[in-house]
């Protein structure tokens, strides 16, 4: 513990030992142990914020790290940073010197991206190593994260100028397109696109051509005529169905087929046996 000085302690620690003999008799003994605390240096690194994003060469990331010795002996401390080779890391101070027990110092680490540094978060490791005449030394370790900022037009021109240039370009493009359509031979009405240039169909104004197209009067003779009543009657009579001479059967007799009495049959035979004929000749 950091609050306990190194060396022999004035107080002893009692240790109670309890054991059982083969005869199942339980005994207990108290042993007093002397305590010797070794000299030690326990280093601890801490930082309020371990991640910085949007770092550029003109705006590097700065980490304010606190290094503390929570051991019971003073120690010499050196600080090292290990990270991406395309980044530059500066440590101030790189050698913290002698740190007494319970003492803490501030260390500043600056991370600056190089020209070949990639975008995205990278990690860097911070090591605090203790040296000196101590029996137990615990080094400290801390992981930090930084990311390079994306390139933008900031600094080249103000944002309002970019918007103004965009509007001007769009306006000029629209004007050029309208002028090109007006001067092009293809800039005709949809109903005139199929008419070749110079055709007589394009003579006159638009209203005159529309009136000519809507003109429905016809020239020449118009054939008219009437149909007489006699012609109608003849047409009706010629289209009527021919009459069929169907022989009548006595009451109670089966109906005759459309062709009349079967060949060789008499009406008396049909009245008596017509049902049998239908059963044999049912369609």
Residue range(s) of every CATH 2.60.40.10 domain in the chain: 40-145
Q: Which two tokens stand for residue 267?
A: 């009406």
pLDDT at position 260, please? 85
pLDDT at position 110, please? 92
Nearest-angstrom CA–CA distance, 110 and 55:
11
- Give the model confidence (pLDDT) of 85-101 as tens digits: 889 999 888 777 788 88
Homologous superfamily of domain range 40-145: Immunoglobulins (2.60.40.10)
- pTM of the predicted protein model: 0.46
Please compute the mean of the pLDDT values over residues 179-208 and round it to a whole number.
62
pLDDT at position 154, please? 45
The residue with tokens 């400290």 is 140
Confidence tier at 65 by pLDDT (50, 70, 90): very high
């Amino acid at each position: 513990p950091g609050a306990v000085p190194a060396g022999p302690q004035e107080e002893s620690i009692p240790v109670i030992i309890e054991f059982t003999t083969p005869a199942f008799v339980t005994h207990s003994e108290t042993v007093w142990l002397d305590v010797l605390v070794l000299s030690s240096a326990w280093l601890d690194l801490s930082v309020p914020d371990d991640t910085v994003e949007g770092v550029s060469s003109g705006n590097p990331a700065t980490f304010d790290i606190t290094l503390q010795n929570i051991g019971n002996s003073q120690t010499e401390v050196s600080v090292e940073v290990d990270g991406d080779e395309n980044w530059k890391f500066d440590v101030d101070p790189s050698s913290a010197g002698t740190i007494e027990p319970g003492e803490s110092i501030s260390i500043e680490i600056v991370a600056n991206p190089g020209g070949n540094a990639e975008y995205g978060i990278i990690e860097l490791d911070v090591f605090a190593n203790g040296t000196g005449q101590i029996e137990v030394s615990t080094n400290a370790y801390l992981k930090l994260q930084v990311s390079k900022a994306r390139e933008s037009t900031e600094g080249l021109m103000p944002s309002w100028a970019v918007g103004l240039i965009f509007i001007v370009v769009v306006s000029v493009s629209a004007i050029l397109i309208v002028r090109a359509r007006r001067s092009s031979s293809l800039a005709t009405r949809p109903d005139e696109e199929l008419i070749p240039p110079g055709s007589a169909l394009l003579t006159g104004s638009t209203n005159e051509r529309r009136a000519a197209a809507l003109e429905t009067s016809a020239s020449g003779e118009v054939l008219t005529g009437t149909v007489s009543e006699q012609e109608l009657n003849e047409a009706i009579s010629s289209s009527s169905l021919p009459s069929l001479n169907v022989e009548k059967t006595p009451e109670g007799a089966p109906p005759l087929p459309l062709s009349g009495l079967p060949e060789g049959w008499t009406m008396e035979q049909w009245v008596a046996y017509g049902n049998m004929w239908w059963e044999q000749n049912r369609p």
